[in-house]
Structure 1
Amino acid sequence: MPGFHYILLALFLSFLPVQSLVYALDSERTTLEAEVWALTEPADFEAMELKPVTTDDMRKALLEEARYIFGGMIFGFTFSYVPLDRARGVDEAFSLTPVHAPAWGDKDMVIKQTRVENGFLYCRFSYRLKEYQETWYGLWRSNDYPRASAIGAGNLFFGPLEKFTAVNNAVKEAVREYARLRIASKPWKIEGEALFAQPPAVYIDAGSYYARVRVKLNIKTVVPYLRY
């Protein structure tokens, strides 16, 4: 229903800041960009018993996802990973904690472009770094940190928050593969930091959310089983 799409887009845009001349003239600050999306046609998924998507839900979800991505590109995450070891009866465990993210209502996060296509609302955000954020951003780029890539999945039937699950699982897989190829003896635990080298690519396929990530890694602690 094309009319619904335009009404939805107008309502969504009314809640968000737009670019200004000041933004266009400020070229000294680093600007990051990321495109996020949300479903606009929940009726297609009634058989899956998904809850209807409201404009407010969509607005909050897209803003939160953009904040999460920009935070992950500027400040990164801390992580803790315990590899699976069946012989020792140790289950796999992984935690990923954002260091920081742009605040809600941050005027430096603006919309560059929106479009509705095939039942999805796509929104491209840009974010201008503040001075203290430039410091963090520069620290990650001043050292030659190794990079790793992987894909993770989340359950579409559990709702849009599973996008974050997919990203979390992708970072876990990136850490796991990086460690597997470089650490000779399986450790009990690995701790460190990760940073999005680029925005995660999230998509839907066969009833699942999938996320493809490319991260910079800083392995800080490797705990062997001798100390466990």
Structure 2
Amino acid sequence: MDKKAFVILAMLLSAFSLPAVEPFLHGEFVYNMNLDLKSAPFPGMSTEEFEARPDEDYEEQIFRSLLEEARWVFSAMIYGLTVSYTPSDIAREVDRLYDAQLMAEIPFGDKRLKIYDTFVEDNIFHAFIRYELDPYQKRRVEYWESGVFDSGASYGYWPYFEEDSRINSIRDGIRIALENQLKPEIYNKPRQIEAEVILRECPLITVDSGKNRAFVKIRSNVKNLQAYRVNN
């Protein structure tokens, strides 16, 4: 068998070995209206203005907020994030540096992103949202689920009333999951970690002691793992 035929055969075998993936992503997203009642929920709006706001306008704001969160989460499930992480080290006077950014995003207003069911319970708005994958996106999800990459899970936390708290609690969960995943491989604290990470499913986010708490499951591809030198 010549080299070209061998490469084609290897690609075909690889394609057949990919796991079956549903043609859409889906998840439950929640909006806690109880906590909105304690302060103005939108920037620049007083409590009086909020309480006088028509119900349909408030509902539209909730829909918009949940769709934006779903757009970010589903982008992280399809395209993943690039992560750069320097753990803090008191002895070496090193501050923690952490950055996790989407590699690509589902376009704003994509018609394949839809809310297909909702309900309200205990003043918490629940929305079930799905996103239909195109063939390229489906192949990306299959690739990440092929079993080649390491997996991990952890909780992440972020103060509830800070900007982008729910997304930042997910980012924090990714950081801790990646760190925990690498502990068996490295004896000492690493100097820097650079990786590509994907969310395996929609994170479960709850409120705990004034913070959003996100439980995240990831797969990772570590690109660069730097250790400190012995005398550094």
**1-structure distance, mates of 2:146, 2:209:** 40
| CA distance in 2 between partners of 1:57 and 1:77 (Å) | 27
Displacement of 1:29 after TM fit? 6.5
Task: Give the whole-Å Cα distance in 1 for the aligned partners of 2:27 and 2:85.
Answer: 27
1:62-91 Cα offsets, whole Å, 9 max, x none, are 111000111111111110111121111111
Matched, 1:31 2:30: no
Tell me which of 131, 146, 153 is aligned to 1:149: 153
Distance 1:203 1:43, change over 3 A: closer
TM-score (norm 2): 0.78
Amino acid at match of 1:100: A
Residue by residue over 1:172-212, the C-alpha shift from the partner in whole angstroms, topping out at 9 and shown as x without a partner, is 11111112222123221010011111110001122111101
1:189 aligned to which of 192, 206, 225: 192
SS at match of 1:90: coil
Letter in 1 for 2:28: E
Moved segments of 4+, more than 6 Å: none
The aligned amino acid for 2:227 is P
* AA at the equivalent of 1:215: I
Q: Distance in 2 between matches of 1:122 and 1:212?
A: 18
Compared CA separation, residues 78 and 87, structure 1 to 2 (3 A)? same
1:57 is matched with: 61
Equivalences for residues 61-76 of structure 1 within 5 A: 61-76=65-80
Which amino acid in structure 2 is aligned with residue 40 of structure 1? M
**Which of 40, 46, 49 is 2:33 aligned to?**
40
Matched, 1:92 2:96: yes
Where structure 1 has 5 or more consecutive residues not aligned to the other structure, the ranges are 1-27
Corresponding position of 1:79:
83
Q: Does 1:198 align with 2:191?
A: no
Residue aligned with 1:65, SS: helix
- In the aligned structure 1, how far is the partner of 2:69 from the partner of 2:22? 22
1:225 equivalenced with 2:228 (yes/no): yes
Q: Is the 8 A contact 1:187 1:225 kept in 2?
A: yes
Which residue is 2:134 aligned to? 130
Corresponding residue pairs, total: 198
Task: Give me the CA root mean square deviation.
Answer: 2.2
TM-score (norm 1): 0.79
| TM-superposed deviation, 1:139 | 1.9
**Which moved further from structure 2: 87-96 or 150-159?**
150-159
Contact 1:50 1:157 in 2 (8 A): no
* Deviation digits for residues 79-115 of structure 1 (CA, Å, limit 9, x no counterpart): 0111121111111121111112211221111222110
**Displacement, 1:158?**
2.4
Identity value in percent: 26
> Cα offset for 1:39?
2.5
